[in-house]
Amino acid sequence: MVDSAGKAAHRSSAVADAWSVPNLFPPHRARPKVVVKADLLPAVSVLSTAGLLGIPLGWLWSLMAPAQRERVVTADGQRVPLELESWHRFDDLAIYGFLALATGLLIGVIVWLMRERRGPVVFVAAAAGAALAGWLGTQIGVAFVNSKYAIDTAPALGAVISAAPQLESGWIWVAAPLMTSLVYALLAAWNGREDLGRRLG
């Protein structure tokens, strides 16, 4: 009698479990807070180190950017570009843009690998450092090419000279911080953890 009652109770509990409604509202968990104080000093280091990448960025651009060949057409030194040479104005801008995007990608990935410092503070520092690198690269690169293609003496009439590459749009520096922000945001979304995996560091 006892066994039959126990079996009946077991069957009734099994049926109840089968028809039970799942808990759609799990107990509330406290979300990890944004760490600010502990990340301030690393953020300054990230900003300054990323900004210094503008020096090799500008140097590489000065090596890769093509000069524009121009012919002297007047006695006072007025010049006009040779046929198809004016296309190098776009080439100079495009080469710097690709180099800036690669710099932003590098900054975003390296900063993300700093697992114990993941978060908005270091992210903002990385984006600001990439912006600094992009701006510094434009200044350093133009200075390098101006010294490389400097003309010491007045060219003769009809002479063909190489004019220094130029960056005709000052907004090209935003390519680096945009790429850094995009890479960091994609990696954070792919991670999916509330603390971005800081506690695993």
In this predicted model, what pLDDT tens digit does every residue of 38-51 receive, in sequence order?
A: 768 989 999 999 99
State pTM to two decimals: 0.75
The dihedral sign for the CA sequence 65, 71, 77, 80: negative
Residue 194: per-residue pLDDT? 75
pLDDT band at 197 (very low <50, low <70, confident <90, very high): confident
Lowest mean pLDDT among 42-46, 58-62, 73-77, 143-147: 73-77
- Cα–Cα dist 142/136, whole Å: 10
Residue 172: other Cβ atoms inside 10 A: 20
Domain range annotation of the chain: 36-200
In this predicted model, what pLDDT tens digit does every residue of 24-40 receive, in sequence order?
A: 555 555 565 666 677 68
pLDDT band at 192 (very low <50, low <70, confident <90, very high): confident
Helix (H, G, I), strand (E, B) or coil at 201: coil
DSSP 107: H
